[in-house]
Amino acid sequence: MRSARRTARGDTIGSPLALPAAVSLSACQTAPVLGCERAVPQHLSSGNQIWCKQHYRKMTHWFHRNPLKATAPVSFNFYGVATTPAATKICNDLRLSRTRLLELFTDSSCNPEMMKNATDLYFSLLQGFILSPDDSSQECKLRYIQNFKWTDTLQGHVPSAQQDAVFELVSMGFNVALWYTKYASRLAGKEDITEDEAKDVHRSLKIAAGIFKHLKESHIPKLITPVEKGRDLEARLIDSYIIQCQAEAQEVTIARAIELKHNPGLIAALAYETANFYQKADQTLSSLDPTYAGKWRKYLNLKTCFYMAYAYCYHGQTLLASDKCGEAIRSLQESEKFFAKAEALCKEYGETKGPGTTAKPSGHLFFRKLGSLIKNTLEKCQRENGFIYFQKVPAEAPQLELKANYGLVEPVPFEFPALNAHWTPEALAAFDLTKRPKDDTTKPKPDEEVKPLKEPDIKPQKDSGCHIS
């Protein structure tokens, strides 16, 4: 009987490694989860850290992704306007660096270092159309010389067009942020993900959130033409992308906390905060046309329910460890309800038409593992209650008033690179706008379709049950 009682009070459900009895709750919370730097307690050093690295490959994630933005080609051929070889070279470098960056968006071998080098080069050159090389606050005379056309992630192949270099800056920057989310998705979907790769997923999502945030706060307000409702650069969509990146990064934090056998109370709090992130992102999109945003919102609803199920599951473990077995059972029953809702939403997600991922999330390993965990934890609580505690199961589910003090994700601050060294006052002066053709053939044609980018398919991993487009 004493042995059974110790199990009810001490062990983490489903854990092959119980924490030493001398380890307190505060000690459990000091081991590092992604997003915070803390000392590793003695019980997690050496052998257990090796165990963690070996078992990190059990982590799998599935993320919804909208398509990349597509754009019309830009030649930067300003014949007659660029009056010196130095000015012509800047135009050629702009064309080549833009083409290279667009190629990398769909190159499955591209990594963050390659992406950063390409973006730094193009944006440093493009800044010469926006900033004055003499550091004055005066608007650059080249800002409105070129027309740019970009599609939106939700609204098909008919582009928005603006003759404004700031529009190009924010549109290309938006695509760079999307690339980081897709890179994270490719890594996260691997069956044998390593700890270093998990950190790359976490970092990439924070970088993406930082780019979106910087565009929203510092550059989109500078556009002369107001952003159309429902377009990518509108506040509702930008905010949803930021929040989704934060939520998905916290999923990685939660997986790491589980693998490191952190205290169930910390895991429950992180899961609850993550569910709230997803709910907030969904609410932000609620006033958009469901024709465009319906599939995306199904994903956000699904993840909200999924992480509420996680929160109630691990909260139940916390209650059991505190000898509140009746309340633990009720918490696990609530977890079952949210998991059933998530399962129904998985089916609805698969049946919903619209931009984004093609997947069967209910068949994904991340989904099936939670279902087994809830079932096994509830059965254990019921056995313990019938054998030891004999407590009444409350009619009402416990209120989750959980606040995570560790592992919460904030966007990584982002800034565009400085003006390229080729942009000198002399180089800018070499562009003579009086020599522009009177019959300007660069006028925008907003009804002209732009071909979508051919994004690489990601083949489903064993047991993953999905592929990400």
The predicted pLDDT at position 330 comes to 94
Mean pLDDT of 183-197: 87
Greatest CA separation found in the chain? 94
Tell me the C-alpha to C-alpha distance, in Å, between residue 36 and each of 30, 32, 202. Answer: 10, 6, 12
Residue 311: pLDDT over 90: yes
Of 60, 66, 55, whose CA–CA distance to 364 is shortest? 60
The predicted pLDDT at position 449 comes to 77
Tokens standing for 268? 């429950």
Dist CA 436 CA 130 (whole Å): 19
Lowest pLDDT segment from 78-92, 111-125, 192-206, 363-377: 363-377
Query: Which ranges in 13-69 belong to alpha helices (H)?
Result: 25-28, 47-55
Residue 436, number of CB atoms within 10 A of its CB:
15
For residue 179, the SS3 value is: helix
Domain 57-74+146-418 has CATH 1.25.40.280: yes
Dist CA 352 CA 250 (whole Å): 26
**What are 351-402's pLDDT values in tens digits?**
888 887 666 666 666 677 888 899 999 999 999 888 888 889 999 988 888 7
The predicted pLDDT at position 169 comes to 98
Dist CA 28 CA 262 (whole Å): 6
Instruction: State the residue for tokens 């469901």.
Output: 290
- Enumerate residues 6+ apart whose C-beta is below 8 A from 184: 63, 200, 201, 204, 205, 208, 248
Tokens standing for 210? 């930082």
The predicted pLDDT at position 324 comes to 93
Environment class of residue 202 by beta-carbon count within 10 Å: exposed (0-12), middle (13-18) or buried (19+)? buried
The predicted pLDDT at position 447 comes to 60
Domain residue ranges of the chain, discontinuous segments joined by + = 57-74+146-418
The predicted pLDDT at position 217 comes to 97
Dist CA 60 CA 198 (whole Å): 10
Dist CA 303 CA 275 (whole Å): 7
The predicted pLDDT at position 460 comes to 39
Lowest pLDDT segment from 1-15, 75-89, 114-128, 250-264: 1-15
Residue 459: pLDDT over 80: no
Confidence tier at 426 by pLDDT (50, 70, 90): very high
Residue 272: pLDDT over 60: yes
Output the pTM of the full model: 0.84
Inter-residue contact 108 to 190 (CB < 8 Å)? no
Inter-residue contact 325 to 389 (CB < 8 Å)? yes
Residue count of the chain: 469
**What are 60-77's pLDDT values in tens digits?**
678 999 999 999 999 999
The predicted pLDDT at position 359 comes to 63
Torsion from C-alpha of 79, 84, 86, 87, nearest 10 degrees? -40
Residue 272, number of CB atoms within 10 A of its CB:
22
**What are 123-170's pLDDT values in tens digits?**
999 999 999 888 777 889 999 999 999 999 998 888 999 999 999 999
Mean pLDDT of 22-43: 40
